[in-house]
């Protein structure tokens, strides 16, 4: 469970420091130094996680690996656009991954919850059998629907991130990645969690 939480935090907040470093340095010293700064901070995030946890989350490898790869490509082409496309590629990849789990009828959030609970265990524990039999199907459907909505969320953000990389200023691009995505993702997850809890509690009250 702790590992999953770290992975989620890495997804939401990972890559923010390289973005900030690139934005600040690029504004004052130009694109070349901005790219180098972003790549240094990207490598630094990987090293910091390794030193602190003795392991690096997959999402950290992917996110910062893309920063290093696209940063190197941007240096080669002298075009910062490739570095700026990193957030869009990450978000598009997440959208495709979640959509794929739905296509194979193994919604990611449902599979994750079942793995955490253990084989055969109730998704909502400590409920009387007559209530659990009604809550479980609704909870499973809710997790499947939530997987789909989060896939749509990532798709929308990927489109916005692509627009920002191609047409917006570096500051707007950085705000969208560093603040816009992080804040909207946290708020969205909180709202979805509250709605799901409300549905479950409503069913329990009706049965009681």
Do both 142 and 93 map to the same domain?
yes
Do both 36 and 98 map to the same domain?
no
DSSP assignment, residue 75?
Answer: H
Do both 157 and 174 map to the same domain?
yes
Do both 26 and 71 map to the same domain?
yes
Do both 35 and 132 map to the same domain?
no
At residue 144, the 3 state secondary structure works out as helix
| pTM, rounded to two decimals | 0.78
| Residue 25 CB contacts under 8 Å (≥ 6 apart), including other chains | 33, 34, 36, 37, 38
pLDDT in tens, the chain (208 residues): 445 455 555 555 556 788 888 988 988 888 889 999 999 988 998 898 899 888 888 878 888 889 999 999 999 988 889 999 988 999 999 999 999 999 998 998 888 877 877 766 666 666 667 666 777 777 788 888 889 999 999 999 999 999 999 999 988 998 887 778 878 888 888 888 888 778 777 766 765 5
User: Into how many domains does the chain fold?
Assistant: 2
CA distance linking residue 50 with residue 187, whole number of Å: 29
Range of 55's domain?
A: 1-79
Do both 94 and 154 map to the same domain?
yes
Domain boundary among 53, 79, 105: 79
Do both 136 and 200 map to the same domain?
yes
Domain boundary among 63, 79, 95: 79
Domain boundary among 79, 113, 134: 79
Q: Terminal CA-to-CA distance of the chain, rounded, Å? A: 31
By C-alpha distance, which of 95, 101, 109 is closest to 140? 109
Residues in the chain: 208
CA distance linking residue 122 with residue 67, whole number of Å: 41
């Amino acid at each position: 469970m702790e590992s999953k939480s770290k992975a989620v935090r890495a997804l939401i907040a990972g890559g923010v420091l390289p973005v900030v470093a690139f934005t600040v340095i690029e504004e004052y010293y130009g694109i070349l130094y901005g790219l180098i700064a972003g790549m240094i901070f990207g490598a630094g995030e990987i090293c910091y996680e390794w030193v602190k946890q003795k392991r690096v989350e997959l999402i950290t490898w992917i996110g910062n690996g893309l920063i290093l790869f696209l940063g190197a490509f941007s240096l080669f082409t002298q075009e910062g656009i490739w570095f700026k496309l990193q957030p869009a590629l990450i978000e598009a990849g997440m959208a495709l991954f979640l959509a794929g789990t739905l296509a194979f009828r193994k919604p990611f959030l449902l599979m994750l919850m079942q793995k955490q609970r253990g084989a055969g265990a109730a998704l909502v524990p400590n409920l009387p059998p007559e209530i659990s039999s009604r809550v479980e199907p609704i909870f499973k459907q809710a997790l499947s629907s939530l997987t789909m909505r989060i896939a749509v969320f990532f798709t929308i953000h990927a489109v916005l991130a692509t627009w920002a990389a191609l047409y917006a200023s570096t500051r707007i691009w950085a705000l969208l990645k560093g603040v816009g995505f992080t804040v909207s993702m946290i708020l969205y997850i909180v709202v979805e969690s509250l709605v799901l809890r409300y549905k479950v509690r409503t069913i329990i009250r009706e049965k009681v």
